[in-house]
A and B are shown apart, each in its own frame.
Chain A
Amino acid sequence: MDFDLMVEVTPLLIRAAWVTIDISSRAIFFGFFVACGLVFLQTFRFAPIRWFARGYISVIRGTPYFVQLLLVFYGGPSLGLRLDPITCGVVVGAFNIGAYMSEAIRGSIESVDKGQSEAARSLGFGKVQTMVSIVLPQAASLMIRSVGVLAIVLIKNSSLVSIISVVELTYQAQRLIGSTYKPLEIFTLSALMYIIIIYAVMGIIELAYRRATRYTTQ
């Protein structure tokens, strides 16, 4: 192991790790809105709107993230959709995680006991008020962990955006290896950085989960 080299390249990798964090967090943020939109579309009475949302989710879940990325980045321009690599990474990430997240959100809303909305309705709450005051606060605590797992998968998958030459952690590592020929040192370092990011996120999720469910333990 060439430790001097590792010390030397660490700042470069840290800077690239910030790009990974930046792309991923923006994708997760926008993905949440995509997910909420998909959940909302599935509540429509007009069936074609529901089919559209279901179809979209099926396509995203049925194709690899890698292919989605390549399709939008290289195929998009033929349809007039030209995105710079970072924007493309964020957009594809958001629309990808959005599909999975919508399923997690829908599942957690559905797993709130039906008696909860019955009790609220019996007091005179309307459908929307019942959703906002009673169901969603409980669903939110149920969905934290499953959404957290999806976020972690997305962060790991963000290494794939290196293929469209976004200078994030994996791309930077490959670049450094090209000039130093030290794959063991550099990939070890980048793996360590992923671990730090992932475990930090897991810690945040766990804290959020405990905070959101403290009413069950007190």
Chain B
Amino acid sequence: MSTEQSTDTPMVEVRNVHKRFGDLEVLKGINLTVNRGKIISIIGPSGSGKSTLLRSVNHLEVIDEGAILLDGVQVNRPDMKGLAFERHINNIRQNMGMVFQHFNLFPHLSTIDNVTLAPRKLKGMDKKTARELGMEQLERVGLAEKADVFPNWLSGGQKQRVAIARALAMKPKVMLFDEATSALDPELVEEVNRVMRSLAEEHMTMLIVTHEMSFARDVSDWALFMDGGVVVEECTPDKLFSNPDQERTRNFLQKHLGNNH
């Protein structure tokens, strides 16, 4: 773990990013920096562009303007084409762990194979070393005993923890969480949050899109409120959740917290 490195250097930089789907502009010039070892949460109503932003960082969405950098290396490269870009993006993605709302575990592979597939195929790790690494990651999320079962036999919370282990097995520089707990039954949310908290304690750099307000407040170093494709407000989570400057933020929080509590 890159624990004690300087936290002033940016790990992820998003510079003036625009993204359009046809006529609809969903990201209207987003700027964002995640420093090494820091945790940033993005909240906002659905359709605000927060998931699109996160997916753009991983290049699952191709941005139309602007730049995204991971550890100083530009992710989007409009100047690169075809196989050259394919190689470039595959290398970049090996350093980014992505966790999806719907887990997206590979159902035809056992839990341990889900975790070890990428290290084996992409890093050429031999089976034995990969299994050790995989078991280590599964222990980290508390699921070592489920190593040899298929994902269909796991609960939603367990699936998501395996998905986190799968991403961690590539030793990523940053973890991206796209509403990791939104598809879970309420009683399963906490086990996933617990794993994410433990990553926070290990100073993993994280960019989190979430609906879990109290979790975002607890765990993040910085929080953003997005609406209509722009960052409406960003500040410390304490300020954002208790005393936001913007009217839109207040309205959103009122509605959201009002519905949930």
Contact = CB atoms under 8 A, between A and B. Distances in A.
Given A118-B60, A126-B90, A215 B150 contact: yes
A62 interface: no
Given A119-B106, A124-B94, A218 B58 contact: no
B149 interface: yes
A218 B151 CA distance: 10
Q: Which of under 10, 10 to 19, 20 to 34, or 35 or more describes the interface residues of B?
A: 20 to 34
Given A124-B90, A124-B91, A116 B121 contact: no
Contacts of A113: 104
Contact of B86 (A116, A126, A218): A126
Interface in B166-217: 166-167, 170
B117 interface: yes
Interface string B69-84: 0000000000000000
B155 interface: no
A55 interface: no
A218 B104 contact: no
Nearest to B102: A115
Interface residues of A, number: 23
A141 interface: yes
A121 B92 CA distance: 11
B255 interface: no
A123 interface: yes
Contacts, number: 73
Nearest to B151: A215
A125 B122 contact: yes
A122 B106 contact: no
B225 interface: no
A218 B153 contact: yes
Contacts of A218: 149-150, 152-153
A129 B100 CA distance: 20
Contacts of B105: 119
B98 interface: yes
A133 B117 contact: yes
B108 interface: yes
A187 B153 CA distance: 50
Contacts of A215: 107-109, 150-152
Nearest to B117: A133
A122 B58 contact: yes
Please give me the 7 A-B residue pairs with the lowest Cβ-Cβ distance, nearest first.
A124-B94, A119-B104, A122-B98, A115-B104, A123-B118, A124-B93, A215-B150
Given A120-B106, A124-B91, A133-B117, 19 more contacts: A116-B104, A116-B106, A118-B100, A118-B104, A119-B105, A122-B96, A122-B167, A123-B118, A123-B166, A124-B93, A125-B90, A125-B118, A125-B121, A127-B86, A129-B121, A133-B121, A138-B106, A216-B107, A217-B152
9 contacts: A119-B104, A122-B93, A123-B166, A124-B90, A124-B94, A125-B118, A127-B86, A215-B107, A215-B108
